[in-house]
Amino acid sequence: MSNDSGQEMKPIASPREAILGMIAEKTPGYEILNTLQQFGASMAMMTVRRAVQRGQLDQSSIHRIGDFGAGTGGPTWALTKIAEQIGATVDAIEQSETGTDEIIQSGILPHWHVKREDGIAYLETVGRDEAQRYDLITAFMLGPDDEEVSLFRKLANVSTRALLPGGHLIITSDGGTLENVLKLCQRSGAKFFGMDGLQSGEKWVAPPAIIIPQTSLAQIAATLPETTRGEIREYNYEAMPPKLEEHWIFRDEQRVDASVLAWQTAKGERYVLNTKGELIVIYNKGRASRDATSEDLERFRQTVEHTLSTNNNEHFSTFYHVHFPEAIERVKQKDKIK
Ligand SMILES: C[S@@+](CC[C@H](N)C(=O)[O-])C[C@H]1O[C@@H](n2cnc3c(N)ncnc32)[C@H](O)[C@@H]1O
């Protein structure tokens, strides 16, 4: 198509089309972010974009966005760029001084859109004033959280009121935390959307995410968590050298796998190291389990390191070197409490 002066005319993209075409790396301003901010920005932009694409979020009903646990603002920056397309505003909600200073100093948001306080308390006050409520609350890389997902449950609870009806809460987090959030959402029976992560080779393009409508939050916040250990599957009892195994978990009714490093002794004890850095010993034909003691840790360490010295598998080795130190730390902490 061309206009009177013969110039090519581009059709004006609708806000939805504009969002669907957004790529953080190609958005002006991306180049001034630091590496950590850039990483967060790409993930967040892709997450919102995918949710809009799938119809899980309707951009036309988003006017106010609150970014809970904004950190140094990489994802917040992505939200401001999306907000520009739809005429929305963004608030960063972050308790750390370092994070909020960086958000303001790098010009991501002016100080009046940066809420430097405990985000749960802040959202509680937002919930008391209808004019302050949000249409979208995001929590990118939510955490740190405990096994009972207490932070997530508090966030779900205050978001029940801090979101307007029709609003949504989006969560991404590390694999362990997100898995626990997902389990809680599933146990609640309330409606929510799970979005599988997107990988290109070894690289994450978008993390797995959970999108919860405001109408489901009260039911989810009232659901009590169940510890993961009851869900470890049946197994046979032959001795097996340590190996990486996939455990089944379901996300959005699709099966996805979570890795564990498992070793089964000749006595039928099964040692399982998971991505949360928990080393659990399952015994009595899988009917009972206990947290590893320091003796268990040492036994596990010797066996795994022996296996690695004879057969150095890269994934196995990385998993072990990332999660075993966390298991040591847990046992140390527990011993201290005793
Ligand atoms: C893992 S970082 C993620 C930062 C950012 N969203 C990102 O993806 O890059 C989690 C952030 O949440 C913040 N946070 C945790 N609990 C919070 C709370 N109750 N109120 C406000 N911020 C909180 C932490 O200070 C931290 O900056």
What size, in residues, is the chain? 338
Please determine, for residue 257, whether its predicted confidence score (pLDDT) is greater than 60.
Answer: no
Pairing of strands 64-68, 89-93: parallel
Alpha helices (H) along 87-204: 97-105, 119-126, 150-162, 175-188
Looking at every residue in the chain, the average pLDDT score rounds to 87
52-62 pLDDT, tens digit each: 999 999 999 99
Residue 226 is assigned to a structural domain of this protein? no
**216, 328: one domain:** no
Our count of domains for the chain comes to 2
Name the band, by pLDDT with cuts 50, 70 and 90, for residue 267: confident
Distance 71 CA to ligand 1 centre (A): 5
Tell me how far CA of residue 264 lies from CA of 239, 297, 330, in angstroms: 5, 14, 22
How far is it, in rounded angstroms, from Cα 78 to Cα 24?
7
**164, 293: one domain:** no
Q: Whose Cα sits closest to atom 14 in ligand 1? A: 69
Q: Mean pLDDT over residues 292-315, rounded?
A: 91
Q: Whose Cα sits closest to atom 12 in ligand 1? A: 69
Name the band, by pLDDT with cuts 50, 70 and 90, for residue 9: low
- Preceding omega of 144 cis (within 30 degrees of 0): yes
Q: Whose Cα sits closest to atom 27 in ligand 1? A: 71
Q: Whose Cα sits closest to atom 17 in ligand 1? A: 69
CA dihedral 63, 64, 69, 73 (to 10 degrees): 70
Name the band, by pLDDT with cuts 50, 70 and 90, for residue 234: very low
Residue 255 is assigned to a structural domain of this protein? yes
Position 14 scores a pLDDT of 93
Q: Mean pLDDT over residues 319-328, rounded?
A: 92
Position 10 scores a pLDDT of 61
Tell me how far CA of residue 2 lies from CA of 5, 12, 13, 312, in angstroms: 8, 14, 17, 63
Distance 141 CA to ligand 1 centre (A): 7
Tell me how far CA of residue 95 lies from CA of 114, 116, 126, 162, 311, in angstroms: 10, 5, 16, 18, 46
Please determine, for residue 279, whether its predicted confidence score (pLDDT) is greater than 50.
Answer: yes
DSSP 144-171: ---TT-HHHHHHHHHHHHHEEEEEEEEE
**181, 279: one domain:** no
Q: Measured from the CA of 93, which atom of ligand 1 is nearest?
A: 21
Name the band, by pLDDT with cuts 50, 70 and 90, for residue 259: confident
**206, 278: one domain:** no
H-run or E-run covering 273: strand 270-273
Nearest to 243 by CA among 298, 292, 311, 175: 311
Please determine, for residue 263, whether its predicted confidence score (pLDDT) is greater than 80.
Answer: yes
160: left (phi over 0), alpha (psi -120 to 50) or beta: alpha
Please determine, for residue 290, whether its predicted confidence score (pLDDT) is greater than 60.
Answer: yes
**283, 167: one domain:** no
- Encoded amino acid at 189, one letter: G
Position 108 scores a pLDDT of 98
117-151 pLDDT, tens digit each: 999 999 999 999 999 999 999 999 998 788 778 89
Residue at a domain's end among 204, 221, 238 = 221
User: Taking CB atoms and a 6 Å cutoff, what residues make up the pocket around ligand 1?
Assistant: 40, 69-71, 74-75, 93-96, 99, 118-120, 140-141, 143, 151
CATH of residue 103: 3.40.50.150
**What is the domain extent for residue 265?**
247-337
**211, 262: one domain:** no
Please determine, for residue 237, whether its predicted confidence score (pLDDT) is greater than 60.
Answer: no
| Least confident piece of the model among 26-30, 314-318, 319-323 | 314-318
Name the band, by pLDDT with cuts 50, 70 and 90, for residue 5: low
Residues 51 and 211: beta-carbon distance below 8 Å: yes
- Encoded amino acid at 51, one letter: A
Distance 7 CA to ligand 1 centre (A): 48
Position 331 scores a pLDDT of 92
Distance 139 CA to ligand 1 centre (A): 8
Position 223 scores a pLDDT of 82
How far is it, in rounded angstroms, from Cα 336 to Cα 338?
5
Please determine, for residue 232, whether its predicted confidence score (pLDDT) is greater than 50.
Answer: no
Distance 67 CA to ligand 1 centre (A): 9
Looking at per-residue pLDDT, the higher value among 274 and 250 belongs to: 274
Position 52 scores a pLDDT of 96
**DSSP SS3 for 254:** strand
Distance 96 CA to ligand 1 centre (A): 8
**200, 149: one domain:** yes
H-run or E-run covering 338: none
**29, 131: one domain:** yes
Distance 155 CA to ligand 1 centre (A): 12
Q: Whose Cα sits closest to atom 4 in ligand 1? A: 71
Q: Measured from the CA of 155, which atom of ligand 1 is nearest?
A: 19
Listed in sequence order, the residues at least 6 apart from 161 whose beta carbon sits closer than 8 Å to its beta carbon are 123, 124, 126, 127, 128, 133
**52, 142: one domain:** yes
Position 145 scores a pLDDT of 83
Q: Mean pLDDT over residues 310-317, rounded?
A: 82
Tell me how far CA of residue 324 lies from CA of 177, 278, 305, in angstroms: 18, 8, 11
Distance 255 CA to ligand 1 centre (A): 29
Query: Among 42, 93, 94, which residue has the most ligand 1 atoms within 8 Å of its CB, making it the best to mutate?
Result: 94
**DSSP SS3 for 203:** strand
| Least confident piece of the model among 33-37, 155-159, 308-312 | 308-312
